[in-house]
Amino acid sequence: MFDALAERLEGAWKKLRGQDKISQSNIQEALRDVRRALLEADVNLQVVKAFIADVEEKALGAEVVSGVRPDQQFIKIVYDELVEVMGESNVPLAQAETAPTVVLMAGLQGTGKTTATAKLALHLRKQNRTTLLVATDIYRPAAIDQLLTLGKQIDVPVFELGTDADPVEIARQGIQHAVAIGVDTVIVDTAGRLQIDADMMAELARIKETIQPHETLLVVDAMTGQEAANLTRTFNDEIGITGAILTKLDGDTRGGAALSVRQLSGQPIKFVGVGEKVEALQPFYPDRMASRILGMGDVLTLVERAAEQVDLADAEKMQQKILQAQFDFNDFLKQMRLMKNMGSLGGLLKMIPGVGKISDEQLSKGESQLKSAEAMINSMTAQERVNPDLLAGSPSRRKRVARGSGHDDAAVTKLVGDFSRMRMMMQRMGQGDLTGMPGMGGM
Ligand code: GDP
């Protein structure tokens, strides 16, 4: 999603390479590149200015760490600052002490507000929280139908009073109904207009006043860039929000909105929408988003997404294995098969460190490489699969695997080498160590 941004930033790092320390003069060009990259990604100007000033101050004040190159140090500073701007850690949805927790959804029409309402209900169910959805968009009969349909699809009740009732009254009765049926959380979907208008704001303010929500979530379309900044400012000033959901991050979107929303509202992005399906909602992790912006991939998200396909205990084991560098060829094979089941290989590949920008041609090459890897792994003995070092240390074992899989020795040597490097990098990333990462050293 942040391809253009990542590409730009790569240029900035390159310029710092070969310098022996960060200084006022050698940093200017890199800062200009970061600034341009952020503006091109539609980050709000005010946010960019504050960001650059902070990065410069921190970079100049940074202690020179021996063994760490200035470009790596600068990347770390930009990374830390990105994480900070986007909010340090994932902030979960509020839960009221006495049920029901009331969530008010706000946003413009077409941003994915109604879809997000259903997505959220499904997400909460995974935490054993029950929900009621409330349909207050009386201006578009289709909106009520849409929520009813989604509710039926995920088996969550929907409260509505048709299109003749007053939205404030629907919301009020919706909460009463939630209390009566004893659900844990009630999510109130509201009317959106194509543009911000005074009537919409006034109605939203009345609904908020009446139902006193624990959460007011602004749904922001990530594809709207600068617009997202204005929207955030207006809704936060006039209604007051407690968080945001950034939708359509699966598309060809620029990253600007993610940076702007938190900075301008002071409120966290709590979830991201990554597809049209009701399952396509993920918690927002600023640190992961920052690595993604910097083109470092997002191994942890990848593992997590895979986890939804396998069972949870299995996924935890996998994460532990990654952290302890015990990830072996069996795990690799398992992940590869999961990827195939998960659909878009392209989207998944983009999350792997070092696989920044890929064309269709590269993608099909990637797929055939995966197939070759699978054939080679299939030719390994059970012992070799759990202990990749056996192969690293034995040319005759590699020769046998090469013959068995119909590849040459060099291909097997490469697979084994790539695999141990990947294992080391995953471990370092898992531990939050960004210095000396192979992906960066090679930039
Ligand atoms: P609302 O008018 O804000 O309630 O928007 P809807 O929920 O009706 O969504 C508008 C359109 O955006 C629909 O076609 C949705 O399927 C689509 N949509 C919503 N969220 C996402 C998302 O995260 N990714 C993608 N690709 N499409 C989404």
CATH number at residue 313: 1.10.260.30
- Bridge partner list, 216: 104
Residue 79 banded pLDDT, cuts 50, 70, 90: confident
pLDDT at 194: 80
Whether residues 81 and 213 fall in one domain:
no
Q: Is 439 annotated as a binding residue?
A: no
Report the Cα–Cα distance between both ends of the chain, in Å, rounded.
Answer: 20
Residue 55 has pLDDT above 60, yes or no: yes
Most informative mutation of 105, 115, 235, 271 for ligand 1 (most atoms within 8 A of CB):
115
Answer yes or no: is the C-beta of 117 below 6 A from any ligand 1 atom: no
Tell whether 264 is in a known binding site.
no
Residue 92 lies in a domain: no
- CB neighbour list of residue 10: distance below 8 Å, 6 or more residues apart: 295, 356, 443
Which of 203-207, 209-213, 278-282, 338-342 has the weakest average pLDDT?
A: 338-342
CATH number for the domain harbouring residue 25 = 1.20.120.140
Q: Is residue 151 part of a domain?
A: yes
Atom of ligand 1 at shortest range from CA of 137: 4
Decide if pLDDT at 351 tops 80. Answer: no
Q: Quote the distance between the C-alpha of residue 262 and its chain's center.
A: 15
Q: How confident is the model at residue 39 (pLDDT cuts 50, 70, 90)?
A: confident
> Is 107 within any annotated ligand binding site?
yes
What average pLDDT does range 356-381 have in this prediction?
Answer: 76
Total domains in the fold of the chain: 3
pLDDT of residue 253: 64
pLDDT band at 438 (very low <50, low <70, confident <90, very high): very low
Strand, helix or coil at 244?
A: strand
Indicate whether 264 and 355 sit together in one domain: no
Candidate of 276, 279, 281, 282 to mutate for ligand 1, largest count of ligand atoms within 8 Å of Cβ: 276
Q: Of 227, 259, 291, which one is at a domain's C-terminal end?
A: 291
11: nearest Cα among 28, 27, 44, 34: 34
* Mean pLDDT across 204-219: 97
* Final residue before a domain boundary, out of 263, 291, 319: 291
**Residue 44 CB less than 6 A away from ligand 1:** no
CB atoms within 10 A of CB 174: 27
Clarify whether residues 355 and 273 are in a common domain.
no
What whole-number distance in Å separates Cα of residue 279 and Cα of residue 339? Answer: 17
Q: What angle do CA 4, 7, 10 make, to 5 degrees?
A: 150
Statement to judge: residues 19 and 160 lie in one domain: no
Q: What is the DSSP string of 75-101?
A: HHHHHHHHHHHT-SS--PPP--SSSPE
* Per-residue pLDDT tens over the stretch 382-419: 889 888 889 989 999 999 999 988 999 999 999 998 88
Q: Is residue 379 part of a domain?
A: yes
Residue 216 shares a structural domain with residue 329:
no
Residues 153 and 251 in one domain: yes
pLDDT value at residue 228? 87
143-184 pLDDT, tens digit each: 999 999 999 999 999 999 999 999 999 999 999 999 999 999
Helices (H) and strands (E) in the chain, counts: 21, 8
All residues at 6 or more sequence positions from 282 whose CB lies less than 8 Å from its CB, including other chains: 271, 272, 274, 301, 304, 305
- Asked if 231 and 157 sit in the same domain, the reply is yes
Question: Same domain for 270 and 171?
Answer: yes
Q: Are 104 and 213 in contact (CB under 8 A)?
A: yes
- The model's pLDDT over 237-255, given as tens digits with 9 standing for 90+, comes to 999 999 999 999 886 666 6
Are 310 and 230 part of one and the same domain?
A: no
Given the DSSP bridges, would you call strands 281-283 and 243-247 parallel, antiparallel or unpaired?
unpaired
Percent of the chain with pLDDT over 70: 76
* Residue-level pLDDT at 442: 28
Q: Separation of 114 CA from ligand 1 center, angstroms? A: 7
ipTM of the complex: 0.99
For residue 217, the domain's CATH number is 3.40.50.300
114 lines ligand 1 (CB under 6 A): yes
For residue 276, report the distance from its CA to the centre of ligand 1, in Å.
Answer: 6
Question: Residue 350 sits in which domain range?
Answer: 299-441
Average pLDDT of the chain, as a whole number? 81
Mind listing the pLDDT tens digit for each residue in 7-27? 666 666 677 766 767 787 878
Whether residue 143 is found in the same domain as residue 58: no
